[in-house]
Copies of this chain bind each other. A is one copy, B any other.
């Protein structure tokens, strides 16, 4: 079922207009984890639909609630323009599969000024990530477990000292740093940044090895147009409680500039101790 001709992110996230404000897309089986499509990948598809129905071109803010996971294959994306403004527009978008809603998302769409520069950024964490060549690709058995299909598509590398869990040691830091590169070195844009913020494995792997950590809610802000090249990623857990974890994610482009940030709330199974 994998369509080997579809490898570029622009291709696997492509949407087709079916009627005004309504689109179709095909969820690629290669962009899944345990058969379930990556949530950021689905959000990128919805972002494309949102952008098509308003005069603005860049996703500034996206928030999604995940209802159920669609299987790879055909999905429908329906949009509703909430407001078209001078500087920003807002759009509601829903992904449906087999007539059942799967993802509900809302977008604020505007214009990212390519000439803008950070005015103040002292509140951000430092992008302290080792060189891409010093990070460990999540292919083969680097992660100590069968590799999800998606890791065969993207070049996702993790900083060696954040991989103790793969060697059986739980350091309890709740941090994963590394690099992400799209297939064939495709440059990032605001749509693929929506995928990037959800691309890393759970930041809880070195605290509580767990199976599936399903996202309940994901919010992403795109802050700048990314420079060409791979992006640096900091993905960190903040609090695990009551079967849920929140994770913050920061994305820097190849020039070291923050281009996207996100927060998500996910379910986590902790056994009897949680």
Q: Residues of A with Cβ closer than 8 Å to B?
A: 60-61, 63-65, 67-68, 82-83, 88, 90, 92, 101, 104-108, 112-113, 116-124, 172-175, 204, 207-208, 216-217, 219, 221, 223-224, 236-244, 246, 248, 258, 261, 263, 265, 270, 273-274
Number of copies: 2
With A82-B104, A120-B207 given, can you name 10 additional A-B contacts, CB distance below 8 Å?
Answer: A61-B217, A63-B63, A82-B101, A92-B92, A108-B265, A123-B237, A123-B239, A124-B238, A219-B263, A223-B241
Q: Is the CB of A121 within 8 A of B241?
A: yes
Q: Is the CB of B63 within 8 A of A242?
A: no
**From residue A66, how far is it (CB to closest CB) to chain B in Å?**
8
A-B contact pairs, 16 of them (CB 8 A): A60-B265, A63-B106, A63-B219, A65-B82, A106-B217, A120-B174, A120-B239, A121-B239, A123-B237, A123-B248, A221-B265, A223-B241, A223-B244, A223-B246, A239-B258, A263-B263
Q: Is the CB of B237 within 8 A of A120?
A: yes
**From residue A214, how far is it (CB to closest CB) to chain B in Å?**
10
Q: Is the CB of A122 within 8 A of B241?
A: no
- Name which residue of chain B comes closest to A119, CB basis: B240
Q: Which B residues are in CB contact (< 8 Å) with A258?
A: 239
Q: Is the CB of B104 within 8 A of A106?
A: yes
